[in-house]
């Protein structure tokens, strides 16, 4: 004997059209008898409609002019583009030499506001990874307590990708918790490895929802180093 | 032949995603209240899904794949721009002229992240509970708990006591049958 669908969860499921036929019939019968239930359902449906209506129109995003429309202003836009490119290049030069300039002016290298660490994982060894995650958590916790900004990125490629593969990793829950507790840790999976796995074994790789995909683990490591991240090969 | 098949599949996939583009943008807009960000994330997610065609080739998983990709991009954006990203409904919603729209969006902005994601996926994205479970990787019990709490919270913010059916001596003045 099934319990009557009287809970609020049942009402919400009913309003969302998620009840099966049996429960829907039962609830419809109860609705005829109970005006309070009726009101709850009416309010839930009204709420859904209000949310839907409120996001029907979103602010217009400025659209770039098409090539066809550009023809008349081609020369002017080219000049503008060149100016922007020149300014961007000048800005890049300024930024890329900012440290040197600052050092010359102030006589010392300014401290980075944020600690940024990239951990490069290329093999799947449970003891090693457990240690790695412990270290990550410790770092995050310590910096959180000291109110020091920190960002950590774990890049996995080769057999290290198993850390982020559903059905292969032993650390899904740990990663999920880290991700939920600390917003400043990223787990990146290497696309090259995913494609190679698929090519060689025919297996479609399913990643943990916390994982983001980068084109290449190695390139990501190089780029991050160029951006001033500390690199640790695990 | 394989190349031709792939091109065709890619074209079909693009068409299917384009048909959902407005809906996807609405959902991401509800997460961030930033129309430009919504457009950018949807375009990036489209490219990702099309590029990873082989990973997402099962038709029924397309919506899940799209929303999972969008969510990952959105969270990445939140991490990268945590300092500059502020969910400031009052400023960004001054453009919303209708009082009800403004009120709903303000209430929506006050929800926690997970309930906000769930309500937006259910009410705006047209996702079933099963799809939401897959997108957010949560259980049905968690989903229902967050959803019920969010609906109660929204109701308390949006429905004033005056909007409810009044009673005289316990009798309803009106009810829906």
Supply the pLDDT for residue A101.
45
Give the distance from residue A22's alpha carbon to the nearest chain B alpha carbon, in angstroms: 18
Total H helices, total E strands in chain A: 10, 5
Q: Measured between CA atoms, how close is A130 to chain B, in angstroms?
A: 23
pLDDT of residue B116: 92
Strands A185-190 and A211-214 come out as parallel
What is the sign of the dihedral through the CA atoms of A223, A225, A229 and A234?
positive
Confidence of residue A97 (pLDDT cuts 50, 70, 90): low
B124 contacts A51? CB cut-off 8 A: yes
Contact list, B136 vs chain A (CB under 8 Å):
209
pLDDT tens digits, B40-90: 888 888 888 777 766 665 555 788 888 988 998 888 887 776 544 445 444
Interface with B, mutate which of A37, A51, A223 (most B CBs under 10 A): A51
Count of C-beta atoms within a 10 Å radius of residue B155: 17
Give me chain A's average pLDDT, please: 78
Contacts of A164 in chain B (CB under 8 A): none
Dist CA A51 CA B105 (whole Å): 8
Question: A173 CB contacts (<8 Å, ≥6 apart)?
Answer: none
Q: Which of B45, B37, B51, B60 is nearest to B9 (CA)?
A: B51
A21: helix, strand or coil:
helix
Q: How far is CA A88 from CA A81, A98, B81, in A?
A: 10, 15, 21
Report chain A residues whose CB lies below 8 A from the CB of B50.
Answer: none
pLDDT-based confidence at B21, cuts 50/70/90?
Answer: confident
Top-confidence residue, A210 or A64: A210
pLDDT at A184: 85
CB A47 within 8 A of CB B158: yes
pTM: 0.52
Say whether A213 and B48 touch across the interface (CB within 8 A). yes
Give chain B's mean pLDDT. 77
Closest CB to A55 among B76, B124, B152: B124
pLDDT at B145: 92
Asked if A75 has any chain B CB less than 8 Å from its own CB, the reply is: no
Cβ(A31)–Cβ(A37) below 8 Å:
yes
DSSP A227: T
Q: What is the pLDDT of residues A163-216, one digit of tens each?
A: 999 888 999 988 988 888 887 888 999 988 888 888 888 878 888 888 888 888
Task: Nearest by CB to B129, from A18, A41, A183: name it.
Answer: A18
Question: Which residues in chain A have Cβ-Cβ distances shorter than 8 Å to B176?
Answer: 38-39, 41-42
Low-confidence winner among A61-70, B20-29, B77-86, B141-150 (lowest mean pLDDT): A61-70
Chain B: nearest CA to A208, how far in angstroms?
9
Q: How far apart are CA A101 and CA A95, in angstroms?
A: 10
What would the pLDDT profile of A119-145 be if each residue is shown by its tens digit? 999 888 888 888 888 888 888 888 887
ipTM of the complex: 0.77
Q: Chain A residue with minimal CA distance to B64?
A: A209
- Rounded Cα–Cα distance for residues B118 and B132 (Å): 7
* Nearest residue to A196 via CA among A185, A204, A188: A204
Q: Is the pLDDT of residue B164 over 70?
A: no
B170 torsion bin: left (phi>0), alpha (psi -120 to 50), beta (else):
left
pLDDT value of residue A126 = 86
B171's enclosing H/E stretch is strand B171-172
Nearest chain A residue to B107 by CA distance is A51
Answer whether A54 sits within 8 Å of B108, measured CB to CB: yes
A-B contacts at Cβ under 8 angstroms: 106
Give the nearest chain B residue to A182 (CA atoms). Answer: B79
In this predicted structure, what is the pLDDT of residue A74? 59
Average pLDDT over residues B119-123: 93
Measured between beta carbons, which residues in chain A are less than 8 angstroms from residue B165? 39
Statement: residue B28 has pLDDT above 70: yes
CA distance B69 to chain A (A): 9
Lowest mean per-residue pLDDT among A94-98, B43-47, B151-155: A94-98
Which residue of chain A has the CA closest to B134? A209
> What pLDDT, on the 0 to 100 scale, is given for residue A110?
39
Compute the distance between CA of residue B33 and CA of residue B27 in angstroms, rounded to an integer.
10
A104-126 average pLDDT score: 68
CA dihedral B112, B19, B103, B175 (to 10 degrees): -100
Supply the pLDDT for residue A95: 58
Which range scores top for mean pLDDT: A4-18, B64-78, B133-147?
B133-147
- Out of B35, B122, B176, the one facing A38 most closely (by C-beta) is B176
A89 or A157, higher pLDDT: A157
Q: What are phi and psi of A17, to 5 degrees?
A: 70, 35
């Amino acid at each position: 004997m099934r319990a009557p669908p009287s809970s609020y969860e049942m009402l919400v499921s009913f309003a969302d059209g998620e009840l099966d036929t049996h429960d829907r019939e039962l609830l419809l019968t109860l609705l005829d008898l109970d005006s309070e239930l009726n009101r709850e359902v009416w309010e839930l449906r009204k709420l859904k409609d209000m949310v839907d209506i409120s996001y029907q129109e979103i602010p217009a995003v400025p659209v770039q002019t098409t090539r066809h429309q550009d023809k008349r202003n081609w020369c002017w836009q080219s000049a503008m583009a060149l100016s922007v490119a020149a300014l961007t290049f000048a800005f890049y030069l300024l930024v890329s030499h900012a440290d040197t300039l600052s050092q010359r002016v102030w006589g010392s290298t300014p401290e980075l506001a944020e600690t940024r660490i990239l951990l490069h994982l290329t093999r799947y060894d449970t003891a090693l990874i457990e240690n790695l995650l412990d270290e990550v958590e410790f770092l995050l916790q310590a910096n959180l307590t000291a109110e020091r900004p920190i960002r950590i990125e774990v890049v996995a490629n080769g057999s290290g990708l198993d850390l982020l593969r559903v059905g292969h990793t032993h650390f899904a829950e740990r990663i999920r918790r880290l991700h939920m507790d600390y917003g400043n840790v990223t787990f990146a999976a290497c696309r090259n490895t995913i494609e190679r796995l698929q090519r060689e074994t025919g297996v479609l790789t399913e990643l943990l929802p916390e994982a983001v995909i980068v084109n290449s683990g190695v390139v990501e490591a190089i780029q991050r180093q160029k951006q001033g991240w500390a690199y640790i090969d695990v | 032949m394989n190349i031709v098949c792939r091109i065709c599949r890619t074209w079909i996939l693009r068409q299917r995603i384009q048909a959902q583009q407005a809906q996807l943008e609405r959902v991401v807009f509800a997460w961030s209240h930033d129309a430009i960000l919504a457009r950018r994330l949807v375009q990036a997610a489209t490219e990702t899904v099309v590029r990873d065609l082989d990973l997402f080739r099962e038709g029924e998983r397309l919506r899940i794949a799209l929303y999972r990709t969008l969510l990952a991009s959105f969270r990445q954006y939140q991490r990268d721009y945590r300092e500059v990203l502020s969910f400031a409904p009052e400023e960004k919603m001054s453009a919303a002229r209708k009082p009800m729209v403004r009120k709903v969006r303000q209430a929506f902005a006050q929800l926690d992240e997970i309930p906000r994601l769930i309500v937006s996926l259910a009410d705006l994205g047209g996702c079933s509970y099963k799809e939401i479970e897959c997108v957010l990787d949560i259980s049905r019990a968690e989903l229902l708990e967050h959803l019920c709490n969010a609906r109660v919270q929204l109701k308390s913010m949006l429905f004033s006591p005056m909007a409810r059916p009044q009673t005289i001596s316990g009798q309803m003045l009106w009810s829906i049958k």
